[in-house]
Amino acid sequence: MLTDSGGYQVYSLKGMRKITEEGVKFQSHIDGSKHFFSPENVMDIQRVIGADIIMAFDECTPYPCAYNYARKSMLMTHRWLDRCFVQFNKTQPVYGYSQTLAPIVQGSTFPDLRKESAAYIAGQNAELNAIGGLSVGEPHEDMYSMTELVCNILPKDKPRYLMGVGLPENILESISLGIDMFDCVLPTRNARHGIIYTKNGVLNMKNAKWQEDFNPIDSESTALTSKVHTRAYLRHLFKTEEMLAAQIASLQNLSFFTWLVREARIKIKDGTFFSWKTEMVRKVSQRL
Protein backbone atom coordinates (compact mmCIF):
# COMPACT_ATOMS: atom_id res chain seq x y z
CA MET A 1 0.00 0.00 0.00
CA LEU A 2 1.22 3.48 -0.90
CA THR A 3 -0.15 6.73 0.53
CA ASP A 4 0.35 10.21 -0.89
CA SER A 5 1.33 13.15 1.26
CA GLY A 6 -1.46 15.49 0.18
CA GLY A 7 0.87 17.82 -1.72
CA TYR A 8 -0.94 17.32 -5.02
CA GLN A 9 -4.35 17.49 -3.37
CA VAL A 10 -3.43 20.83 -1.78
CA TYR A 11 -2.18 21.98 -5.20
CA SER A 12 -5.62 21.23 -6.63
CA LEU A 13 -7.24 23.54 -4.04
CA LYS A 14 -5.77 26.73 -5.53
CA GLY A 15 -7.64 29.71 -4.08
CA MET A 16 -8.45 27.78 -0.90
CA ARG A 17 -4.92 27.38 0.52
CA LYS A 18 -1.92 29.37 1.72
CA ILE A 19 1.61 27.97 1.46
CA THR A 20 4.29 29.05 3.96
CA GLU A 21 7.61 27.66 5.14
CA GLU A 22 5.84 25.95 8.02
CA GLY A 23 3.35 24.12 5.82
CA VAL A 24 -0.01 24.63 4.11
CA LYS A 25 -3.24 26.03 5.48
CA PHE A 26 -6.26 25.09 3.41
CA GLN A 27 -10.03 24.80 3.44
CA SER A 28 -11.98 21.68 2.70
CA HIS A 29 -13.81 21.83 -0.63
CA ILE A 30 -16.55 19.76 1.02
CA ASP A 31 -17.53 21.76 4.10
CA GLY A 32 -15.13 24.73 4.24
CA SER A 33 -13.43 23.49 7.41
CA LYS A 34 -9.85 24.67 7.94
CA HIS A 35 -6.84 22.34 8.06
CA PHE A 36 -3.06 22.55 8.30
CA PHE A 37 -0.50 20.20 6.75
CA SER A 38 3.15 20.27 7.75
CA PRO A 39 5.95 17.86 6.88
CA GLU A 40 5.74 16.54 10.43
CA ASN A 41 2.03 15.86 10.74
CA VAL A 42 1.88 14.45 7.20
CA MET A 43 4.51 11.90 8.27
CA ASP A 44 2.49 11.09 11.39
CA ILE A 45 -0.74 10.62 9.42
CA GLN A 46 0.89 8.25 6.95
CA ARG A 47 2.61 6.40 9.80
CA VAL A 48 -0.75 5.80 11.48
CA ILE A 49 -2.33 4.58 8.25
CA GLY A 50 0.46 2.03 8.06
CA ALA A 51 1.27 2.20 4.34
CA ASP A 52 4.31 0.33 3.04
CA ILE A 53 5.43 3.36 1.03
CA ILE A 54 4.76 6.91 2.21
CA MET A 55 5.49 10.08 0.29
CA ALA A 56 7.38 13.17 1.38
CA PHE A 57 5.40 16.40 1.68
CA ASP A 58 6.15 18.62 -1.32
CA GLU A 59 4.72 21.48 -3.32
CA CYS A 60 3.54 20.50 -6.78
CA THR A 61 4.06 23.59 -8.96
CA PRO A 62 1.52 24.40 -11.67
CA TYR A 63 2.19 24.56 -15.41
CA PRO A 64 3.18 27.01 -16.71
CA CYS A 65 5.26 28.27 -13.83
CA ALA A 66 7.69 31.19 -13.58
CA TYR A 67 11.33 30.16 -13.12
CA ASN A 68 11.83 32.09 -9.87
CA TYR A 69 8.71 30.57 -8.33
CA ALA A 70 9.70 27.08 -9.44
CA ARG A 71 13.16 27.47 -7.87
CA LYS A 72 11.79 28.90 -4.61
CA SER A 73 9.25 26.08 -4.42
CA MET A 74 11.84 23.39 -5.18
CA LEU A 75 14.18 24.60 -2.43
CA MET A 76 11.30 24.69 0.06
CA THR A 77 10.36 21.14 -0.99
CA HIS A 78 13.95 20.10 -0.23
CA ARG A 79 13.78 21.73 3.21
CA TRP A 80 10.44 20.05 3.85
CA LEU A 81 12.03 16.75 2.86
CA ASP A 82 14.71 17.19 5.51
CA ARG A 83 11.97 17.73 8.09
CA CYS A 84 10.08 14.68 6.79
CA PHE A 85 13.13 12.46 7.30
CA VAL A 86 13.71 13.84 10.82
CA GLN A 87 10.11 13.08 11.82
CA PHE A 88 10.12 9.74 9.98
CA ASN A 89 13.27 8.56 11.76
CA LYS A 90 12.06 9.88 15.10
CA THR A 91 8.78 7.96 14.94
CA GLN A 92 10.12 4.61 13.68
CA PRO A 93 10.28 3.06 17.20
CA VAL A 94 6.80 4.34 18.04
CA TYR A 95 4.94 2.35 15.40
CA GLY A 96 7.24 -0.64 15.20
CA TYR A 97 6.71 -1.63 11.58
CA SER A 98 8.87 -1.01 8.55
CA GLN A 99 7.91 1.72 6.07
CA THR A 100 9.68 3.37 3.13
CA LEU A 101 9.76 7.15 2.79
CA ALA A 102 10.02 8.27 -0.83
CA PRO A 103 11.40 11.76 -1.64
CA ILE A 104 10.07 13.66 -4.66
CA VAL A 105 11.98 15.48 -7.41
CA GLN A 106 10.51 18.86 -8.38
CA GLY A 107 11.65 21.74 -10.60
CA SER A 108 8.81 22.19 -13.10
CA THR A 109 10.02 21.97 -16.74
CA PHE A 110 13.33 23.80 -16.17
CA PRO A 111 16.27 21.45 -16.91
CA ASP A 112 18.72 23.07 -14.47
CA LEU A 113 16.19 22.89 -11.62
CA ARG A 114 15.34 19.29 -12.41
CA LYS A 115 19.05 18.41 -12.39
CA GLU A 116 19.58 20.17 -9.07
CA SER A 117 16.56 18.55 -7.48
CA ALA A 118 17.37 15.08 -8.83
CA ALA A 119 20.91 15.33 -7.43
CA TYR A 120 19.53 16.40 -4.04
CA ILE A 121 17.03 13.54 -3.98
CA ALA A 122 19.63 11.00 -5.13
CA GLY A 123 21.82 12.10 -2.23
CA GLN A 124 19.17 11.00 0.29
CA ASN A 125 19.91 7.32 -0.47
CA ALA A 126 16.22 6.45 -0.20
CA GLU A 127 14.88 3.02 -1.14
CA LEU A 128 12.64 4.57 -3.81
CA ASN A 129 12.67 7.94 -5.58
CA ALA A 130 9.70 9.78 -7.06
CA ILE A 131 9.32 12.39 -9.79
CA GLY A 132 6.54 14.90 -9.19
CA GLY A 133 5.29 18.07 -10.82
CA LEU A 134 4.76 16.46 -14.24
CA SER A 135 1.55 15.43 -16.01
CA VAL A 136 0.03 18.73 -14.86
CA GLY A 137 -0.73 20.15 -18.31
CA GLU A 138 2.70 20.39 -19.93
CA PRO A 139 3.22 18.98 -23.45
CA HIS A 140 4.09 15.28 -23.49
CA GLU A 141 7.44 16.10 -25.09
CA ASP A 142 8.38 18.23 -22.05
CA MET A 143 7.28 15.48 -19.68
CA TYR A 144 9.43 12.95 -21.52
CA SER A 145 12.49 15.22 -21.66
CA MET A 146 12.29 16.03 -17.94
CA THR A 147 11.75 12.35 -17.10
CA GLU A 148 14.76 11.28 -19.15
CA LEU A 149 16.94 13.97 -17.62
CA VAL A 150 15.99 12.99 -14.06
CA CYS A 151 16.32 9.25 -14.71
CA ASN A 152 19.91 9.83 -15.86
CA ILE A 153 20.67 11.22 -12.37
CA LEU A 154 18.59 9.08 -10.00
CA PRO A 155 20.21 5.77 -8.93
CA LYS A 156 19.66 2.97 -11.43
CA ASP A 157 19.42 0.33 -8.68
CA LYS A 158 16.50 2.07 -6.93
CA PRO A 159 12.90 2.11 -8.24
CA ARG A 160 11.83 5.34 -9.96
CA TYR A 161 8.23 6.41 -9.54
CA LEU A 162 6.61 8.89 -11.98
CA MET A 163 3.63 10.36 -10.19
CA GLY A 164 0.26 11.01 -11.80
CA VAL A 165 0.93 9.49 -15.24
CA GLY A 166 -1.78 7.18 -16.59
CA LEU A 167 -2.27 7.18 -20.37
CA PRO A 168 -1.08 3.87 -21.86
CA GLU A 169 1.19 5.59 -24.38
CA ASN A 170 2.69 7.80 -21.64
CA ILE A 171 3.36 4.75 -19.47
CA LEU A 172 5.11 2.88 -22.27
CA GLU A 173 7.27 5.84 -23.28
CA SER A 174 8.18 6.52 -19.64
CA ILE A 175 9.14 2.88 -19.07
CA SER A 176 11.53 3.22 -22.00
CA LEU A 177 13.12 6.20 -20.22
CA GLY A 178 13.70 4.24 -17.00
CA ILE A 179 10.51 4.56 -14.93
CA ASP A 180 9.40 1.59 -12.78
CA MET A 181 6.22 2.79 -11.04
CA PHE A 182 3.13 4.85 -11.87
CA ASP A 183 -0.11 5.94 -10.27
CA CYS A 184 -3.15 7.62 -11.75
CA VAL A 185 -6.92 7.87 -11.32
CA LEU A 186 -7.37 7.61 -15.11
CA PRO A 187 -8.32 3.90 -15.42
CA THR A 188 -11.31 4.15 -13.07
CA ARG A 189 -12.20 7.82 -13.64
CA ASN A 190 -12.40 7.34 -17.40
CA ALA A 191 -14.25 4.07 -16.87
CA ARG A 192 -16.99 5.94 -15.05
CA HIS A 193 -17.40 8.10 -18.16
CA GLY A 194 -17.58 5.16 -20.54
CA ILE A 195 -13.98 5.21 -21.81
CA ILE A 196 -12.41 1.75 -21.87
CA TYR A 197 -8.94 0.64 -22.92
CA THR A 198 -8.03 -2.47 -24.91
CA LYS A 199 -4.92 -3.86 -26.62
CA ASN A 200 -6.24 -2.51 -29.92
CA GLY A 201 -7.38 0.95 -28.89
CA VAL A 202 -9.84 3.04 -26.90
CA LEU A 203 -13.64 2.67 -26.98
CA ASN A 204 -16.23 5.22 -25.89
CA MET A 205 -19.08 2.97 -24.79
CA LYS A 206 -21.60 5.83 -24.87
CA ASN A 207 -21.35 6.06 -28.67
CA ALA A 208 -24.34 4.84 -30.67
CA LYS A 209 -22.12 2.61 -32.83
CA TRP A 210 -22.05 0.00 -30.03
CA GLN A 211 -25.85 -0.17 -29.69
CA GLU A 212 -26.15 -3.40 -31.66
CA ASP A 213 -22.62 -4.75 -31.26
CA PHE A 214 -23.08 -8.12 -29.57
CA ASN A 215 -19.39 -9.00 -29.54
CA PRO A 216 -17.71 -9.35 -26.13
CA ILE A 217 -16.51 -6.08 -24.61
CA ASP A 218 -12.95 -7.35 -25.04
CA SER A 219 -12.45 -11.01 -25.91
CA GLU A 220 -8.70 -10.71 -25.14
CA SER A 221 -9.21 -9.28 -21.66
CA THR A 222 -8.23 -11.11 -18.48
CA ALA A 223 -11.43 -9.73 -16.88
CA LEU A 224 -14.18 -12.38 -17.02
CA THR A 225 -16.86 -9.66 -17.17
CA SER A 226 -15.39 -8.37 -20.44
CA LYS A 227 -15.67 -11.81 -22.03
CA VAL A 228 -19.24 -12.61 -20.99
CA HIS A 229 -20.87 -9.18 -21.44
CA THR A 230 -21.35 -7.54 -24.83
CA ARG A 231 -20.55 -4.03 -25.95
CA ALA A 232 -24.24 -3.43 -26.61
CA TYR A 233 -25.07 -4.45 -23.03
CA LEU A 234 -22.37 -2.19 -21.56
CA ARG A 235 -23.62 0.74 -23.65
CA HIS A 236 -27.17 0.03 -22.43
CA LEU A 237 -25.96 0.15 -18.82
CA PHE A 238 -24.32 3.52 -19.40
CA LYS A 239 -27.38 4.95 -21.16
CA THR A 240 -29.64 3.86 -18.29
CA GLU A 241 -27.09 5.17 -15.74
CA GLU A 242 -26.69 1.85 -13.98
CA MET A 243 -23.78 1.73 -11.52
CA LEU A 244 -22.90 -1.69 -12.93
CA ALA A 245 -21.63 0.10 -16.07
CA ALA A 246 -18.85 1.85 -14.16
CA GLN A 247 -17.98 -1.37 -12.34
CA ILE A 248 -17.64 -3.46 -15.50
CA ALA A 249 -15.70 -0.71 -17.27
CA SER A 250 -13.37 -0.29 -14.27
CA LEU A 251 -12.62 -4.03 -14.23
CA GLN A 252 -11.80 -3.87 -17.93
CA ASN A 253 -9.46 -0.90 -17.54
CA LEU A 254 -7.68 -2.22 -14.47
CA SER A 255 -7.14 -5.60 -16.13
CA PHE A 256 -5.80 -3.89 -19.25
CA PHE A 257 -3.32 -1.69 -17.39
CA THR A 258 -2.16 -4.64 -15.31
CA TRP A 259 -1.63 -6.65 -18.50
CA LEU A 260 0.22 -3.73 -20.13
CA VAL A 261 2.88 -3.36 -17.44
CA ARG A 262 3.30 -7.11 -16.99
CA GLU A 263 3.76 -7.53 -20.72
CA ALA A 264 6.27 -4.66 -20.74
CA ARG A 265 8.32 -6.50 -18.13
CA ILE A 266 8.28 -9.67 -20.25
CA LYS A 267 9.40 -7.75 -23.33
CA ILE A 268 12.20 -6.02 -21.40
CA LYS A 269 13.50 -9.39 -20.20
CA ASP A 270 13.43 -10.99 -23.63
CA GLY A 271 15.00 -7.97 -25.34
CA THR A 272 12.08 -7.00 -27.59
CA PHE A 273 10.65 -4.09 -25.59
CA PHE A 274 11.44 -1.21 -27.95
CA SER A 275 9.93 -2.76 -31.09
CA TRP A 276 6.91 -3.97 -29.08
CA LYS A 277 6.53 -0.54 -27.44
CA THR A 278 6.45 1.27 -30.78
CA GLU A 279 3.67 -0.99 -32.06
CA MET A 280 1.69 -0.84 -28.80
CA VAL A 281 1.84 2.97 -28.65
CA ARG A 282 0.33 3.03 -32.15
CA LYS A 283 -2.41 0.57 -31.17
CA VAL A 284 -3.43 1.95 -27.79
CA SER A 285 -3.61 5.52 -29.13
CA GLN A 286 -6.34 4.59 -31.63
CA ARG A 287 -9.98 5.55 -31.10
CA LEU A 288 -12.11 2.57 -32.15
Q: Which amino acid appears at position 181 of this protein? A: M
| CB of 187 closer than 8 Å to CB of 197 | yes
Q: What's the sign of the alpha-carbon dihedral 138, 141, 146, 148?
A: positive
| CB of 197 closer than 8 Å to CB of 252 | yes
What is the spatial distance between Cα 278 and Cα 282, in angstroms, rounded to a whole number? 7
DSSP 74-119: HHHHHHHHHHHHHHHHHHHHHH-S--EEE-EE--TT-HHHHHHHHH
Q: Which residue of the set 4, 31, 52, 142 is catalytic?
A: 4
Distance of CA 71 to the CA centre of its chain: 23
Q: Count other Cβ atoms within 10 Å, centred on residue 148.
A: 15
4 catalytic? Reply is: yes
Q: Which residue of the set 44, 180, 183, 213 is catalytic?
A: 183
Range 36-46 burial, b when 16+ CB lie within 10 A, else e: ebbbbebbbeb
Peptide bond into 64 cis (omega under 30): yes
To which H or E segment does residue 37 belong?
Answer: strand 34-37
CA end-to-end span of the chain, whole Å?
A: 34
The set of catalytic residues is: 4, 183
